[in-house]
Each structure stands twice: as C-alpha cells, then as structure tokens.
C-alpha cells in the first residue's frame, strides 16, 4: 500500500497493485490449499482489471480507468464469480479479501478522481441496489459480510466524490471496524459473534460508522443531493432489516447462546433499537 501512495505515476501504481494481488494469491494458496477454483477466478478477474487499467492509462480513457478499478475491487457482477469459494475460506484470508484488498484501488480512485460521469454514478447505484438484494437472500455470515463490503465500498466512493476529508474519516472508521470484526471472529466463539458483527456493520448506533454516515447525509442535504441521500438511507435500512433474519439463522443452524437469558435480552434490545431508528 505504501508503494501505491508513494508512486509518482500510473505505471508504478499499476505495478504496485499487481504485486499486492500476487502476494494475496500466494498467501491464499499457503493457508487455503483447497481453494484453487477461487484463486483461479480471482486471478482472471484481477488480470481483466489490470489489462483495462493499463490500456486506459495508455489511451487516457477515464471511464475505462474507473471500470478497471471497480473490477479490481471485485464489485458486482464479478463478486458472484468468487463468492462460492468464500463460504469456507480461512478467516485471515477472508477478511484480507473483503477489507484490506480494497485499500489499494480506493487509494487510486482517491488520487486520480476517476469518477465524473453519469454512467459511473449509475454503476455505483446498481452495485448499491444489487448488494442489498443479494445480501437479503444469504444466510451464511461470510456471504452477508461480502455484500456488506460491496455496499460500504460504493458508499465510500460516493463520499470521496463530494468530500475527500469526510471520505478519509469514514474509511478510517470503516477499516478500524473491519479489524475489530476480524478480532472478534478470531477470539470469540458462539452465536453472539453474529449479533455483534451485524451491529458493527449496520451503520447505526452504537456502530462507529453511524457518526460518519450521519455527517455524509447532512452534507448531501446541504448540497441538495436528495437522490443519493435517499438511496443511502434506504440501503442502510434494508441491511438493518436483514438483521431480523438472525432469529431464523439461529433456528436453522441450531446455534445455542452462551447465556440464554442475557443473550436473548440483548438480541431483542438490539433488534428493537434497529426498528426504532429505521
């Protein structure tokens, strides 16, 4: 990541992205030897994104540059190619894929500001909506986190378009929250992990993301960008209502709570808070 930030031109940035992808593939192969299909699909997607990135740099096509970075972020529809291999992936590799592998392309979007046309806005809005609808259909926590990650990346790119300082704050809080979720998954056991993880990625209190998202919505109101504000709120609400399926997940997976009385009370308090704020 430091190579991407310090690179003086787009060619060195491209080389830095390729090095990052190769390192991820080597680590994935070391820890998850059974995921050869995932690694092959991931390599093809990254190769496509890299080819478009290089071609757009030579021809100076800003729209193609934006599309190449979206491919390297593995946004929809490309996420559907690899999601089947993510269900049982080793935790370290999984969280590296959905969180830390996003940093490089986001830095390039930040530095190049390749987001200027209505076509790019439409692409982001479609990713907003499809990530929401796809997440509602999933019951595995890994799959839900993947589509939540897509949703958050879209929101970060939109924030970046209107305010770089607000994007920096939001991205910092988001990646800190991502690290916290990873630590919870690594050191906590049981179904309470599901509740706490959903609480962190919900974007509503007491989640840390809540405060930066509120700032963004206020900023959009000041700029009279009502459509984006409504989409942002609506998407957040759908991800909140998705949490109502937790009870169904518990029954289907036959999970047992560590402390029945305390855990059930906490669960219903959280759900009530989500419904109240929604």
Residue-level pLDDT at 48? 92
- Domain boundaries of the chain, sorted by first residue: 1-114, 140-278
CB-CB contact of 160 with 109 (8 Å): yes
pLDDT by residue (tens digit) across 241-266? 555 455 455 555 544 444 334 444 44
pLDDT by residue (tens digit) across 129-175? 888 778 777 767 778 778 878 888 888 888 887 777 878 887 887 77
The sign of the CA dihedral 194, 198, 201, 206 is negative
Distance of CA 111 to the CA centre of its chain: 20
User: Of 277, 141, 121, nearest to 198 (Cα)?
Assistant: 141
DSSP state for residue 89 in the 8-state scheme: -
pLDDT for residue 183 is more than 80: no
Hunting for tokens 């090095």 — which residue is that? 19
pLDDT for residue 271 is more than 50: no
The encoded tokens of residue 118 equal: 């209505």
- pTM, rounded to two decimals: 0.73
Residue-level pLDDT at 157? 87
Spatial separation of the C-alpha atoms in residues 276 and 227, rounded to whole Å = 23
Distance of CA 113 to the CA centre of its chain: 19
């Amino acid at each position: 990541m430091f190579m991407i930030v310090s690179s003086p031109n787009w060619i060195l940035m491209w080389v830095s992205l390729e090095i990052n992808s190769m390192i991820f593939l080597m680590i994935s192969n070391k820890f998850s030897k059974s995921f050869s299909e995932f690694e092959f699909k991931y390599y093809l997607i990254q190769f496509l994104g890299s080819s478009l990135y290089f071609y757009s740099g030579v021809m100076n096509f800003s729209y193609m540059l934006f599309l190449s970075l979206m491919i390297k972020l593995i946004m929809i529809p490309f996420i559907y190619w690899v999601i089947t291999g993510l269900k049982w992936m080793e935790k370290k590799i999984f969280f590296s894929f959905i969180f830390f592998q996003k940093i490089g392309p986001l830095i390039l979007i930040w530095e190049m500001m390749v987001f200027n046309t209505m076509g790019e806005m439409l692409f982001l809005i479609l990713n907003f909506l499809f990530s929401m609808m796809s997440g509602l259909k999933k019951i595995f926590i890994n799959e839900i986190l993947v589509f939540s990650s897509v949703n958050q990346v879209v929101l970060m790119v939109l924030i970046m378009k209107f305010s770089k300082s607000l994007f920096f704050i939001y991205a910092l809080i988001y990646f800190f929250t991502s690290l916290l979720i990873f630590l919870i998954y690594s050191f906590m056991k049981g179904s309470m992990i599901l509740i706490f993880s959903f609480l962190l990625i919900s974007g509503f209190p007491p989640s840390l993301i809540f405060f930066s998202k509120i700032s963004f919505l206020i900023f959009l109101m000041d700029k009279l960008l009502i459509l984006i504000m409504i989409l942002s709120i609506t998407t957040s609400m759908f991800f909140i209502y998705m949490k109502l399926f937790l009870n169904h997940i518990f029954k289907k997976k036959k999970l047992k709570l560590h402390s029945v009385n305390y855990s059930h009370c906490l669960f219903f308090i959280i759900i009530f808070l989500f419904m109240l704020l929604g």
